[in-house]
Amino acid sequence: MQDPNEDTEWNDILRDFGILPPKEESKDEIEEMVLRLQKEAMVKPFEKMTLAQLKEAEDEFDEEDMQAIETYRKKRLQEWKALKKKQKFGELREISGNQYVNEVTNAEEDVWVIIHLYRSSIPMCLLVNQHLSLLARKFPETKFVKAIVNSCIQHYHDNCLPTIFVYKNGQIEAKFIGIIECGGINLKLKELEWKLAEVGAIQTDLEENPRKDIVDMMVSSIRNTSIHDDSDSSNSDNDTK
């Protein structure tokens, strides 16, 4: 009788059709697999470990593991440095007028700087400060600062507040002066985010202007009013004739 565990082409065909049961693994093969699985279980998943954890566990790795870990450690360190460099700001900081040049005009190269000139007695200024504080956390690669207007510009008119200047490399790239340009007294966080993203100061994940529906309604209303006026004018001309 033919051995069903024998490695022959005919036995393989019979196994494919389910006539023969799967080949039994030898005791040596099973033991080898168990040892391999045990060894794999003992190896720590260093790809998921922090730099501190790698340091603590380095005595448990063999030479090959240590080479892989060292490569991984360097990669993680580079990623960490890049992240720290990118997330160097992350808050809306208060500055005084005598800090303006160093903090804004002479800020680091290629860094976007958003400065809000405000007066605490104006509610719209307080609203803008609240929004900018949240945006500063969301976009830590952009520098957000605020300053009481009198410390920077004497006799600045309240009608021009809030005032937002957007700088890059010492140049003003955009400015929003007064309540209307800043978005109105009912300014929403996403609306301000969109404004700053449009001028390039932040990289938003918003896909369209949050005020798009309002703008579309205003345009439609203006268009309808214009058509109505033209119609009335035409009817008036016909009546005159």
Parse the chain into domains and list their residue ranges: 93-204
Look at phi and psi of residue 118 and say left if phi exceeds 0, alpha if psi is from -120 to 50, else beta. beta
pLDDT (0 to 100) of residue 73: 74
Q: Walk across the sheet containing 143-148 and list its strands.
A: 92-94, 143-148, 112-118, 163-168, 171-177
pLDDT (0 to 100) of residue 134: 97
pLDDT (0 to 100) of residue 133: 97
Q: What is the DSSP string of 181-223?
A: HHT-TT--HHHHHHHHHHTTSS-----S-TTHHHHHHHHHHHH
Structure tokens at 19: 């006539």
pLDDT (0 to 100) of residue 102: 96
Q: Within the chain, which residues score under 70 in pLDDT? A: 1-7, 11, 17-20, 23-31, 33-62, 64-66, 69, 80-87, 213-241
Q: H or E segment at 30?
A: helix 27-42
pLDDT (0 to 100) of residue 237: 59
pLDDT (0 to 100) of residue 209: 92
pLDDT (0 to 100) of residue 225: 60
Q: Which CATH number does the domain 93-204 belong to among 3.30.980.10, 3.50.50.60, 3.40.30.10, 3.30.565.10?
A: 3.40.30.10
pLDDT (0 to 100) of residue 155: 93
Distance of CA 199 to the CA centre of its chain: 16
Integer angstrom CA distances of residue 224 from 113, 220, 229:
41, 6, 9
CA distance 93 to 113: 11
Specify whether the CB–CB gap between 136 and 94 falls below 8 A: no
